[in-house]
Structure 1
């Protein structure tokens, strides 16, 4: 039998190396596909995604197919390279073929194609599926036999080959995905999505209007005082109580004002008839739960009470929505009323400022797991009521009391460690 010409052997060797590169890039490309993007593309009827998804339904069979093909072409390439080297250099050609073919396969059939596939998995995997899918049907008996043996070995090692389930994303992982989305999701939309995820970690007492700031109607006041209170109010709904805020008897919607006024002035009977029944909620209700309750009960205002039934404050649907979308236009001017930047990089902050608002505005990390206001935080750390101005450091922030009235801190000068280092 005549020996095959070297030119033909060279051609076959090149084809085999290209096939090896194809199998190597296919493996990396298929395994590097984003599973969630793949699901999305399959729903969009993308043909390449549907083919790739079908192959990835059984990754053990896909890997078996690719490795069978890759090993076949590599072994055949090694045999042909050895034949060529022996013809050219005799017995020394075996060593030359081993070293040379190893370098060629590493560069052209492994590293380069796998790097390309890792960088552009869809561009590699989707076209490759055109070949792999029919090849899977053609070589199914061999693939099945190989997988039968390997799966048996895995079971002996205590590994269930069919134990892999569909991947699920935790809230922390989803937060990372949203944060790293970059230009794919506008920054404002990313912020809204992250705020929705944060609703699970925030309760109504974190965002409520505290009882000392609640604007409402006291039925024990005179008619003239009630009318002045109603006229001066800027809220759509006003809580109504008798004698004390702990005795809230209803909520008055301002759209019903015309029904409680007559030619004589204020009609108290009509006022009590037009009031809505108060809606009470526990102080530690998570925001996402309360949002669902508002939606279910068709309500927009709730009275927050502690475990003893004492009124702690009020929370509205608007307050929760602002946690998601940010302050509404009508309230943009209010966001900076409590924080005043100074030339030296510090800030004068009102003592009743909400700690979460301070952290959001200044990108700080003051502790929020205890008191909700800056005054409460300072007094908790001091463990007493100071006789005068005092300074303290909390979580890397320096806080200096500027004004103290009674048992309440009215104004604080605050600065972070970063701003102090910048001034030095």
Structure 2
């Protein structure tokens, strides 16, 4: 009976050490930090153990190997008499003793594999942080008790690792790919709602998108000339009611300042004609280079009190205008805007009318296309068409990519105003035409 109790105790100890090993190794540092921030001291202990795991793993291996050896010795002695009786019922030849030994060995090995290894490790993998927090204090105590053995084996292991130039501690680095993987898992599980998933994805894209994908392009900027008369100013305000207007001297590259439309409204309320005066023009303007990412642009807006910025290229030419609202909309808004002119209009299940200035990242999301060729060379769908054709497109020019046909249907001079994007429903035709350019 004492041998049976000994086997049971060894199995329980083996299960404890197996659970401890897997749970502490598999615990996610992000979740442990959340638990630690909530005041869980044991979570902090687990983090410290993960940062310096050498002594812990040395203790685990010493303990598991000792248990395995003792289990083999005690188990064979305990079970062989019982297996001998069972074998004798069906066989009493010269091999009876060997058969009894093999059966007892298989039985004890199966018990240890099932109850001291597989089951506890499965439990630890299911809820690693919870298990690790429960066992960390006991494991630290056992490590301390086995200090001489732990120091010897841990030092030897570290020496071997240094000889082969292998790091002795784990470096915990959370990459963008790790975050995306967690987002995908959360969305699949249902713990992360679709709207939250899309919002976080848009935020992560801020570092990969430049100002060109969010700004109002140069040709769409409405501005006042310093020499504009009252009728011209009033007409521009009525046609394009913005809060702020740039003021130029002849053309956009000769900026004078900016003016608020409410100052024009004040003139009208006072019964005066709308006109520009020196006092109402704000001379200080906020400039941003077009090479900035949306994330960098947001940081620049944080340090100023300006409502908009003029985007310039390396030659100091104005290429666009961006507002803080534009930047916020780049990750708060949907692919298809609710107010104003829509950039993407779905015609049917397999075709869309897309504005040429639509950011290529939005098109990739809409069509679920993983990549466009050399997408670092352009920001918009029109830019992709120009890049693929190697010239300014004409009407009906098209490019086929990844099973979609991108056709220019509205070209104003050298500007591609609108494209028709069509999904090629015949898979064979799509494969055959892949990468083709037509004009």
Same fold (TM over 0.5): yes
2:26 to 15, 32, 40: 32
Aligned to 1:105: 112
Mapping of residues 83-122 of structure 1, within 5 Å: 83-85=77-79, 87=81, 89=84, 92=98, 93-122=100-129
Residues 56 and 62 in structure 1, CA contact (< 8 A), matched pair in contact too: no
Q: For 1:291-332, what per-residue CA distance to the aligned partner results, in whole angstroms no more than 9, with x for missing partners?
A: 111111221211112222222111111111111222699x62
Whether the aligned pair in 2 keeps the contact of 1:403 and 1:409 (CA below 8 Å) is yes
Once the two structures are TM-superposed, the CA of residue 37 in structure 1 deviates from its matched residue by 0.8
Provide the secondary structure at the position in 2 that maps to 1:167.
coil
**Contact 1:340–1:347 under 8 Å retained in 2:** yes
- Taking a change above 3 Å as real, the CA distance of residues 129 and 423 of structure 1, as seen in their structure-2 partners, is same
Cα deviation digits, residues 177-236 of structure 1 (max 9, x gap): 333333444333333332222111111112211111112222232222112323443221
CA distance in 1, matches of 2:227, 2:426: 52
Q: Secondary structure at the match of 2:299?
A: helix
For 1:384 and 1:147, locate their aligned partners in 2 and report how far apart those are by CA, in whole Å: 66
Distance 2:421 2:129 in 1: 51
Contact 1:341–1:348 (CA<8 Å) still a contact in 2?
A: yes
Query: Which residue of 2 is the match for residue 206 of structure 1?
Result: 213
The structure 2 residue matched to 1:334, chosen from 340, 352, 376, is 340
Change in CA separation of 1:81 and 1:398 when aligned onto 2, cut-off 3 Å: same
Mapped partners of 1:148, 1:392: distance in 2: 63
For the Cα contact (< 8 Å) 1:392–1:400, is it kept in 2?
A: yes
Which of these residues, 168, 180, 183, is aligned with residue 173 of structure 2?
A: 168
Cα distance change, pair 280–67 in 1 and its aligned pair in 2 (3 A): same
User: Secondary structure at the residue paired with 1:71?
Assistant: helix
For residues 276 and 322 of structure 1, do their structure 2 counterparts lie closer, same or farther at Cα, with a shift above 3 Å needed? farther
Distance change in 2, residues 1:148/1:223 (3 Å): same
CA apart distance, 1:358: 3.8
Aligned to 1:67, which of 51, 61, 67? Answer: 61
Specify whether residues 180 and 278 from structure 1 end up closer, same or farther in structure 2 by C-alpha distance, changes over 3 A only. Answer: same
Taking a change above 3 Å as real, the CA distance of residues 381 and 152 of structure 1, as seen in their structure-2 partners, is closer
Change (3 A) 1:117 1:396: same
Assess if the C-alpha contact under 8 Å between 1:240 and 1:248 holds in 2: yes
Name the structure 2 match of 1:266.
274
Q: 1:25 to 1:323 in 2, by over 3 A?
A: same
Mapped partners of 1:57, 1:280: distance in 2: 46
Aligned pairs (5 A) from 1:128-147: 128-147=135-154
- Deviation sequence 1:58-90 (CA, Å, 0-9, x none): 311111222222222221121112223455549
Per the alignment, do residues 63 and 353 of structure 1 end up closer, same or farther by CA in structure 2, a change over 3 Å counting?
A: closer
1:298 paired residue among 281, 305, 319: 305
CA distance in structure 1 between the aligned counterparts of 2:11 and 2:210, rounded to whole angstroms: 62
Matched residue SS, 1:398: strand
Mapped partners of 1:10, 1:153: distance in 2: 40
Deviation at 1:345, TM superposition (A): 2.2
Q: Supply the distance in 2 between the matched residues of 1:339 and 1:156 (Cα, whole angstroms).
A: 60
Which consecutive unaligned segments of at least 5 residues does structure 2 have?
85-95, 431-439
Q: Tell me, yes or no, if the aligned pair for 2:31 and 2:129 is still in contact at 8 Å.
A: no
- CA separation of 1:140 and 1:376: change in aligned 2, threshold 3 A: closer
SS class of match (2:327): helix
SS in 2 for 1:313: strand
Residues of 1 paired with 2:9 and 2:379: CA distance? 71
Write the distance in 1 (CA, Å) between the matches of 2:402 and 2:302: 38
Matched residue, 1:190: 197
1:413 maps to which residue? 420
Cα distance between partner residues in 1 of 2:298 and 2:262: 23
SS at match of 1:332: coil
User: Aligned to 1:13, which of 4, 7, 21?
Assistant: 7
Could you tell me the TM-score, scaled by structure 1's length? 0.85
Helix, strand or coil: the match of 2:250?
coil
| Distance in 2 between residues matched to 1:138 and 1:117, nearest whole Å | 24
1:245-266 deviation digits (Å, cap 9, x = unpaired): 2222111123433565655423
Write the distance in 2 (CA, Å) between the matches of 1:263 and 1:245.
30
C-alpha distance in 2, partners of 1:158/1:369?
37
Contact preservation (8 Å) 2:356, 2:416: yes
Residue among 396, 400, 404 paired with 1:389: 396
In the superposition, relative to structure 1, how do residues 346 and 15 fare at CA in structure 2: closer, same or farther (>3 Å)?
same
